[in-house]
Amino acid sequence: MKIQSKAVHSGDRGKPATQVPVTTPIYSSSSFIVDTSEELDKILGVEAPGFCYARYDNPTNCALEELVRDLENGAGALACASGMSALQVALTAALLDRRKSIVAADALYGATIKLMMNVLAPFGVEVRFVDICNLQAVERAIAEEKPGCVVMETISNPLLRVGHIARVAEMTRSAGGALLVDNTFATPLMVRPLELGAAMSVHSATKYLAGHGDVLGGLIVSDAGHAPVVKSLSRTYGPVLGPFESYLTMRGIKTFPLRVERQCANACLIAKHLASHPRVSRVHFPGDPHHPDAATVAELFPSGLYGAMVSFELKDAGRPEVFAFMDRLKMVVRATSLGDVHTMALYPVIASHRDLPPKQRQRLGITDGLVRLSVGIEDAQDIIDDLNQALAG
């Protein structure tokens, strides 16, 4: 099946029953009754399929995991309570039996950097940052560090750079490491990292997959080598997603290809408009033919689907000017998230990259005039009109 059909059908109706519901129900029970102690023994020992305790497995969560596994063409999946909890489990799985060393893209979500530097580094994990789009620099860092794990984003947050996943995966495997890709911005509609050699693909389910601003969740899709480790860690850590959130995420995924296609089309129009606006000095968008990673984008992304994130810099603007622009927005939502059906504007300096020192932000190109736009499914002209009136001052 194509991904549009998988989004609608995978996960649901997979369990034998006399009458199978069209949509997977919400199983809110914390434990499950089995017929015999022998059967319970086998389920607890992972010798037979079944359910006994919700920290281990839940039918609603399993349906979501099956759905996302199919979307990414992986071997296994895990639904977690947030994108950051999913990232921590994935990092632990990658480093469990490998050298405690990470080579990470220098352009990452601020909380991801904070997790590695403030949580993992104090436990002895070495972290080295590198420009993931500079393949020579990546090759040199991997050769010198021989990392257990390499971390990158399909589309970087917030400057929307695109690294060559297949080449980075090849280098990582040659050094005995595992490539972990945050695929939140691209979604499986555009890029499926495991098909390009990644060991694990991580999503904030809060964003495009659930897509309606009503779920907090995370997902890991693993290859065959890491799926059992991820599941085992989950049983110990217990970072599981609640069944109601799993249900909402499944419901959101059924329409995610339609939503993301519309969002990508809107983003192309808005990026083009902003590029010609006199109040905008620069636009960052993967669909721009002059994008610094245009060749990689052309190789990885389907034509016309370049993601729905657009970042732009207000001309001669600092924090006061950006605040004034943001406060003038009427339809576009000022909120610290992305991927929802509504268009959302975020100021990275005070939100996604707030915890980075100012000098580090400047070095990465995150200026005080940068605004990140998550384009929604509204009429594109309405979005443009709202941006225009806010830019006019």
Catalytic residue positions, numbered = 55, 109, 182, 207
Sequence-distant contacts of 53-58: CB under 8 A, at least 24 apart: 54/29, 54/30, 54/240, 54/243, 55/235, 55/238, 55/240, 56/235, 58/27, 58/240, 58/243, 58/246
- Strand intervals (E) in the chain: 76-80, 101-105, 126-130, 149-153, 178-182, 200-204, 218-222, 280-284, 309-314, 333-334, 344-346, 370-374
> What gap in Å lies between CA 378 and CA 176, rounded to an integer?
46
Collapsing DSSP to helix, strand or coil, 326 comes out as helix
Helix (H) or strand (E) holding 236, with range, is helix 227-237
Please report, as a single letter, which amino acid is at residue 388.
N
For the chain, what is the largest distance between any 2 Cα atoms, rounded to a whole number of angstroms?
73
* Separation in Å, CA 44 to CA 51, 93, 340: 9, 21, 38
Which one, of 218, 119, 130, 158, lies nearest residue 349 by Cα? 158
User: Helices 227-237 and 83-95, interaxial angle, to 10°?
Assistant: 120
